[in-house]
Amino acid sequence: MIASGHHPEEKRMLTPVTANQFHRPMGVGKTAPSLVTCARADGRSEELVVKFAGGCEAGIGSLLREAVAALMAADLDLPVPEPFLVQVEPDFVATIPEANDRYRLAKRNAAASLGWNFGSQKLPPGFATIAKGRPISQAMLPMAAEILAFDTFIANPDRTVANPNCQSNGREFGIFDHELAFRTEGILFWKAPWEKGGISFPKGQPDKLRHVFLDELRGSAPDFQRFGGAFDVLTEARLQEYQVALPAEWLQNEGDLAGILDYVRALKQNLDAAINNLSEALR
Ligand SMILES: Nc1ncnc2c1ncn2[C@@H]1O[C@H](COP(=O)(O)OP(=O)(O)OP(=O)(O)O)[C@@H](O)[C@H]1O
Ligand SMILES: [Mg+2]
Please give the Cα distance from 19 to 77 (Å, whole number). 27
- Backbone dihedral angles phi then psi of residue 24, each to the nearest 5 degrees: -165, 155
Ligand 1, atom nearest to 81 Cα: 1
* pLDDT given for residue 189 in this prediction: 83
Which residues fall within 8 angstroms of residue 108, CB to CB, at 6 or more apart?
A: 54
Ligand 1, atom nearest to 66 Cα: 18
Ligand 1, atom nearest to 122 Cα: 3
* pLDDT given for residue 2 in this prediction: 54
Give me ligand 1 centre to Cα 275, in Å: 29
* pLDDT given for residue 9 in this prediction: 45
* pLDDT given for residue 254 in this prediction: 76
* pLDDT given for residue 68 in this prediction: 98
* pLDDT given for residue 98 in this prediction: 97
* pLDDT given for residue 253 in this prediction: 83
Give me ligand 1 centre to Cα 177, in Å: 6
Percent of the chain past pLDDT 70, that is, above it, reads 96
* pLDDT given for residue 186 in this prediction: 76
Q: Relative to the alpha carbon of 81, which ligand is closest?
A: 1
* pLDDT given for residue 8 in this prediction: 46
Of the residues 177, 178, 180, 208, which should be mutated to test ligand 1's pocket, given the most ligand atoms within 8 Å of the CB?
Answer: 177
Give me ligand 1 centre to Cα 19, in Å: 17
Which residues of the chain register pLDDT less than 50? 1, 4-9
* pLDDT given for residue 5 in this prediction: 47
Ligand 1, atom nearest to 31 Cα: 26
* pLDDT given for residue 11 in this prediction: 67
Q: Relative to the alpha carbon of 33, which ligand is closest?
A: 1
Instruction: Write down the H helix ranges in 154-253.
Output: 214-217, 225-230, 236-245
Q: Relative to the alpha carbon of 31, which ligand is closest?
A: 1
Please give the Cα distance from 120 to 81 (Å, whole number). 6
Q: For 13-72, what is the HEC assignment?
A: CCEEEEEEEEEEECCCCCCCCEEEEEEECCCCEEEEEEECHHHCCCCHHHHHHHHHHHHH
* pLDDT given for residue 255 in this prediction: 73
Report the chain's mean pLDDT, rounded to a whole number: 94
pLDDT, tens digit (0-9, with 9 covering 90-100), for 41-81? 999 999 999 999 999 989 999 999 999 999 999 999 999 99
* pLDDT given for residue 139 in this prediction: 97
- Backbone dihedral angles phi then psi of residue 22, each to the nearest 5 degrees: -80, 135
Give me ligand 1 centre to Cα 105, in Å: 15
Give me ligand 1 centre to Cα 269, in Å: 32
Residue nearest to atom 29 of ligand 1 (CA): 27
Cβ neighbour number for residue 141 with a 10 Å cutoff: 16
* pLDDT given for residue 10 in this prediction: 58
Q: Indicate the pTM of the whole model.
A: 0.95
Please give the Cα distance from 111 to 281 (Å, whole number). 45
Pocket residues for ligand 1 (CB within 6 Å)?
26-33, 49, 51, 81, 120-123, 165, 176-177
Give me ligand 2 centre to Cα 27, in Å: 7
